[in-house]
Chains A and B, each alone.
Chain A
Amino acid sequence: MRSPVQAGLRTSTNGGPRRIFLAIFLASLLAALGAIGNVTNSAFAQTAFTLPAPPFELPMVPPVSGNWTVMVGIGGEYKPDFEGANRSMLSPVPIFSIRRAGSAESFRGPRDSASIAFIDFGDLRAGPAVKFVASRKANNYPELNGLGDVNATVELGGFVEYFPVDWFRTRAELRQGIGGHTGVVADFSADFIVPVYQGFTVSAGPRFTWESTQATAPYFGINAIQAMTTGLPVFNAQGGAHSYGAGAQISYRFNPQWEVHSYVEYQRLLGDAAASPLVTLRGSPNQTTVGIGASYSFDFKIR
């Protein structure tokens, strides 16, 4: 899975130190959560501060006056160094959102792109979606030495999601890459969303990704020059079925302020992505991402 956050804590090739890093990170999070318990009830449903009204309002733009909820937090994501890698890396992930106070947060999967629902029937939503895919620098990873860099990509497109019932969501995204790759990516996912108890939700479901040749080749193709410098065979990567997999996440809201969540996403590369010598000789078609995070929400008011 590609993620916007690349700066992270690099771990070594064997599993031991990686586990230690992860354990330290998880322990830190748990320690933070321990501290949370002492302050949870102090700020219940109070606005943290009030801002003055804006000096003017623009026509056609909804007024900003009212109560707003800000969510801030930090998480960690343990994921493959690059798509197709067999080593993983722990990276910090910032959490931030702002919305009208009280507005219900929609279910969101870890692989969902940032999106806005311009069409909203409640159970059926659609609108634009955007995803940032970080650059892949060849000199950052020994497996990539000799392969060219792939610049960062912004993928622009749209999404459609449908809830046939409250506890089941299907979602499709179609995005066009601009930058590092110029291909088309289509993501399909389904999630069973099970509310276990008040504030405690478990969800899981299958995933599938299709990518065009232009989206696959920059990451998995090997041209003649790269073959000479890397020792890998020339490989002309074509598009098609890119990966299938499954994901699961749990979230628990202690109170209106504090929430923790964790997720795991497994992805099995398919087609030319899996057949690329970069994957068969130096990487792995099995891609697993594990994430954990904690967030704090507070309200403020604009007069």
Chain B
Amino acid sequence: MRRTNRCVSFATAVLAVNLGACASFETRETKLQAVKTVGIISAVGDEMSFVQAGLTGLNNPTQSLPIRSWGLDDLIVQQATTALSGRFEVRPVNYQRSAFAAIKDSPVAPVNLVRGDPFKQLVRTEVSPQGLDAYIVITKAKSNFNGSRKVEGIGFITYGTVLASYNQIYALYEIRVFDGKTFDMIEKRAASPLDNSGAMKLPGPSQLVDESFAPNPGNPAQNEKLHTAIAELVARSLPSTLSDMHLAAVR
């Protein structure tokens, strides 16, 4: 009898906690319903990484190559504006792109949880005009690759094996939505892999390519094939990511 009472008390407590939680935390859908005006910030595409992985020599650090001239962030803002215009009024915003691009996660995971989202402060201080209902921030996403490397943002990987080598381009980015009044993050989502993802697993849009797409180490921006392929990767994945976040029309 005492045991039954204890079970009932426990079940009641669990139910109360659940109901309390439901009451305390608005869903992102509820929060988004109130949003009318948005500003879009993009800080993904000033640099690309060139990674040689798999069976490699002893010294193969990831190289960073400048691609600012491609104007990928402008493309991202333009594509996102098009995708969001059906639901929101998108207003142009000014911001310091390098400040957003410079934010790095700590390698110590609990530190990231404790310190909160550093983009929140940047949206409050570095973006004008203030006062829009929400700000959509698109930045580089980071991932482990092959167990031993970090890859982020835009990049090109050459993966060597005993019998062959493979080349893959990727565009890893994540999208945050911040409330324009409280600057609390309403939602965060990383772009998902596309259906034709390459041989090497990456948690975002990627595609197998041939050797002719390899960046020219001196001036990677000169490789127009690479530029076009990366731009297509972003253009194909952005609407579906925004749709997954219920920001754009469902595909």
Chain A residues packing against B (C-beta within 8 Å): 44-46, 53, 55-60, 62-63, 65-67, 100-107, 117-123, 163-167, 169, 193-200, 256, 301, 303
Contact = CB atoms under 8 A, between A and B. Distances in A.
B148 A101 contact: no
Contact of B149 (A123, A256, A301): A123
A196 B162 contact: yes
A104 B145 contact: yes
Interface string B195-235: 11101111110000000000000000000000000000000
Nearest to B24: A56
Contacts of B108: 118-119
Contact of A101 (B56, B147, B203): B203
A86 to B, nearest CB: 36
B193 A101 contact: yes
Contacts of B194: 45
8 contacts: A45-B193, A53-B27, A66-B190, A101-B192, A104-B145, A117-B109, A120-B109, A166-B53
Contacts of A100: 190, 203
B167 to A, nearest CB: 12
Contact of A165 (B56, B163, B192): B56
Nearest to A54: B27
A70 B144 CA distance: 18
A106 B60 CA distance: 19
Contacts of B149: 122-123, 166
Contact of B25 (A56, A122, A169, A198): A56
Contacts of B147: 104-107, 163, 166, 169, 193
Interface string B20-34: 011011111100000
Nearest to B188: A63
Given A118-B108, A167-B55, A198-B161, A103 B21 contact: no
Nearest to B190: A66
A46 B193 CA distance: 11
A106 B144 contact: yes
Most A CB within 10 A of own CB, among B24, B60, B113, B161: B161
B243 to A, nearest CB: 11
B52 to A, nearest CB: 9
B129 interface: no
A57 B203 contact: no
A31 to B, nearest CB: 28
A195 B193 contact: no
Given A53-B29, A104-B145, 4 more contacts: A46-B195, A53-B28, A121-B107, A122-B150
